[in-house]
Amino acid sequence: MPVKDLYHGTVRTALIKDGWTITDDPLVLKIGERFAFVDLGAEKLIAAERGSEKIAVEIKSFLSPSPIKDLENAWGQFFIYARVLQKTNPNRRLYLAVSHNTFETLFQEEVGKLLLEEPGFRMIVFEPNNEEIILWQPQINS
């Protein structure tokens, strides 16, 4: 089992506060003969006629001395997991969860903005102190 990110419990609590049910902790993806572990799987009842919204959440703390290295690792995981989900579970959307501080710094720089412009890239921004989600990028259906 992989080591949980520093903010794992925080994001889990924030999703529950936002009305999500945690279905997988972690969400296991089978890639051929290998396995990958997305931090969380969750679902939320949207409306009786529409069913439920299913998401997968990869949590990243961005605490290493090199923010670019953290960004490279996060993007690589996001890309691989998104492709696997597209083939194995196309109804589940992948999100990268980052703290408000990371979003306001790294993702407001040119390098972070490049990812935000990437088609299919989704992000959850959370406030660690309040354990609350403050932004879905792009906005999630409600």
Sequence spans of domains, the chain: 8-137
**The model's pTM:** 0.92
* Distances in whole angstroms, Cα of residue 34 to Cα of each of 25, 29, 37, 84: 18, 8, 10, 12
110 has a pLDDT exceeding 60: yes
Q: What mean pLDDT is predicted for residues 71-90? A: 95
Give the pLDDT of residue 138: 87
Which CATH number is correct for 8-137, 3.40.1350.10, 3.40.640.10, 3.30.1330.30, 3.20.20.80? 3.40.1350.10
The answer on pLDDT for 39 being more than 70 is yes
Cβ atoms 118, 138 nearer than 8 A: no
pLDDT for the residue numbered 140: 65
* CA–centroid distance for 123 within its chain: 6
DSSP conformation letters of 72-87? HHHHHHHHHHHHHHHH
The whole-number pLDDT of residue 52 equals 84
